Amino acid sequence: MYELIKTVHNFFLLNILTHSDYGLIASVISIIYFASKVADIGAASSLSLMFMHLTQSRLAFKKLFKKYYLYPHIPLMLIIALCIAWTNHYHIQASHFWVWALVPIIMLGESIRYFLRIFLHAAFKSRHVVFIEVLLYVGFVAMVWIPYLLYQRPIDLAGFLIAHVIDTWVCTTIFIGYTYFFYTKLPAQTNPPPHPSTTRIWYTKIINYSVRISRDFFASNFLTPLFAYKCGLEAAGAFYFASVIVNALHSTIKMSIHYPANGLLWNLHTSSHTTKKEAFSLLFHKLTTLIIPIIIFIAINHSWLLRLGNYGHMTSTTMLIIAALISIAILDSLLLLYEQFYIAEQATHSFLLLKVLECILLYSFVIKSTQTTLLSLLIYAVMIKLLSFGITILNAFSRWRIKPTILIQRRWLIGASIISGIFYYIMYLFFR
């Protein structure tokens, strides 16, 4: 539901605003979300290690939360927020006052919101979290569109960011309330409980954070402002809209495979290597069962999808950008499953070396590239992801003898082919 509302919202924005204005809004929003992930500094990624210790008692929660999260991370978030404010002040036009004034406020709220979201998911409050975020996003969309529809007030960056500030901090405040309520339900305890050493906690934070940030370099929140700088705001807007569509697919894969995989592999971290291999094979099989029908559908209907995109005022270039992003999303989903297995085997440092190589290639062939064509840069990114996936497969096989299990039941292939054929025939009747 959230992704559907977001897609429809951005579709109408793209048709109402000029492409440059849409690209500017997309770039600023992407900077906010990427900076909020940077400002996290490993807080959310360390919850897999600390959650059990945090939730032993109210005393444990208070002691550990202050020592390892509140005191070290809030100052770091504030420093990064001030850096963002300074950067916007000197590098964004003076007429866009609301950008450098509101961006750090939103970024700080989004960083806290991200951490609390992960915490509440771990505390089995997922239904509450999803409901609140969908409801508030509907409110955000209403704050953007109602002034335009009822009072003919133009949609601009300042109004967009004001609505974002309200959405972010209302949600963050609600999450703080849920977390406090969860804290009050913990048992009382007078003796401080044992917990991992400070060295191990910060080592886990830094390693997991580095792996996650390296993955974010291939996400739209980093690439949108990069493409705005290299290719212009119009190209950045086209890329961002394409990424919104693809993120709906990526979110479906995460909800269906990766979130359950996190729980399964973490619960098996003390099990035998054979059990972990079997779990990985099962998860990879389920992932490919979800991905292959999508590939079949696109392969059969790619020509009609291009024509449908043109009918909906989307250029062929935009459709090709979507195809490139789908390729990156699929490869990223496969790599994320391997990442989860490396973490379960306590070999995150080895996976980090692979991600460092990936980032070096991204810097060399995309960030420092003299190419200014968006599609060419995306093709480079797809090739880097494909190479990274190949190296990861070989490394995992040499260490643990695990390999991709691509087995899909015949009925899934037949069903995907029939549905794709029906869509092809409907498009033939519509466009002939």
Instruction: Specify if 65 maps to a domain.
Output: yes
Residue-by-residue DSSP string for 350-409? HHHHHHHHHHHHHIIIIIS-----HHHHHHHHHHHHHHHHHHHHHHHHHHH---------
Please provide the DSSP assignment of 147-168 as one string: HHHHH-PPP-HHHHHHHHHHHH
Last-in-domain residue among 197, 227, 253: 197
In a domain, 32, yes or no: yes
Considering 164, 197, 230, which residue would you say is the last residue of a domain? 197
Instruction: Kindly state the percentage of the chain with pLDDT values over 90.
Output: 9
Tokens of 123: 């505390």
| Predicted confidence (pLDDT) at residue 16 exceeds the cutoff of 70 | yes
Query: Which pTM does this prediction carry?
Result: 0.79
Does the pLDDT at position 312 exceed 50?
Answer: no
Q: Are 276 and 268 in contact (CB under 8 A)?
A: yes
**184/267 same-domain check:** no
Select from 182, 304, 317, 170 the least CA-distant residue to 241. Answer: 317
| pLDDT in the model for residue 174 | 95
**Among the three residues 168, 197, 226, which one is the final residue of a domain in this structure?**
197
**193 and 242 belong to one structural domain:** no
Tokens of 298: 């696109």
Residue 408: is its pLDDT beyond 90?
A: no
Same domain, 337 and 282: yes
Q: Which of 212, 231, 236, 172 is nearest to 28 (CA)?
A: 236
Note whether 144 and 227 are same-domain residues. no
Residues 56 and 106 in one domain: yes
Least confident of 21-25, 90-94, 183-187: 90-94
Average pLDDT for 165-193 = 86
Mean of all residue pLDDT scores within the chain:
80
Considering the domain architecture, whether residues 129 and 171 belong to the same structural domain is answered as yes
Residue range 244-295, pLDDT digits in tens? 877 777 777 776 676 666 666 666 666 777 777 777 887 787 787 777 877 7
Are 32 and 160 within one domain? yes
Answer whether residue 330 is part of any domain: yes
Ranges 151-160, 179-188, 293-302: which has the least confidence: 293-302
168 & 247 share domain: no
Mean pLDDT value across residues 38-63: 78
Q: Is residue 347 part of a domain?
A: yes
pLDDT tens-digit series, residues 107-119: 889 988 988 888 8
Residues 62 and 112 in one domain: yes
At residue 191, what is the residue type?
N
Q: What percent of the chain has pLDDT over 70?
A: 82
Query: What is the arithmetic mean of pLDDT over 328-354?
Result: 82
pLDDT tens digits, one per residue of 235-246: 888 888 878 877
Q: Give me the domain span that covers residue 401.
A: 217-432
Kindly tell me if the per-residue pLDDT of 30 is higher than 80. yes
pLDDT at 412 over 50: yes
Mean pLDDT of 42-47: 76
Q: Are 144 and 288 within one domain?
A: no
Q: Which residue has the higher pLDDT, 358 or 101?
A: 358
- Give the total number of structural domains in the chain: 2
Please report, for residues 18, 35, 99, 104, 159, the alpha-carbon distance to residue 93 in angstroms, rounded to integers and kept in the order given.
Answer: 18, 20, 9, 16, 17
Residues 130-155 pLDDT 10s:
889 889 999 999 999 999 888 888 88
Q: Do 193 and 235 sit in the same domain of this protein?
A: no
Side-chain-side CA neighbours of 154 within 13 Å: the count stands at 7
Residue whose structure tokens are 């392969």: 299
Q: CA-CA distance, 115 to 176, in Å (whole number)?
A: 10
Give mean pLDDT, residues 39-43. 79
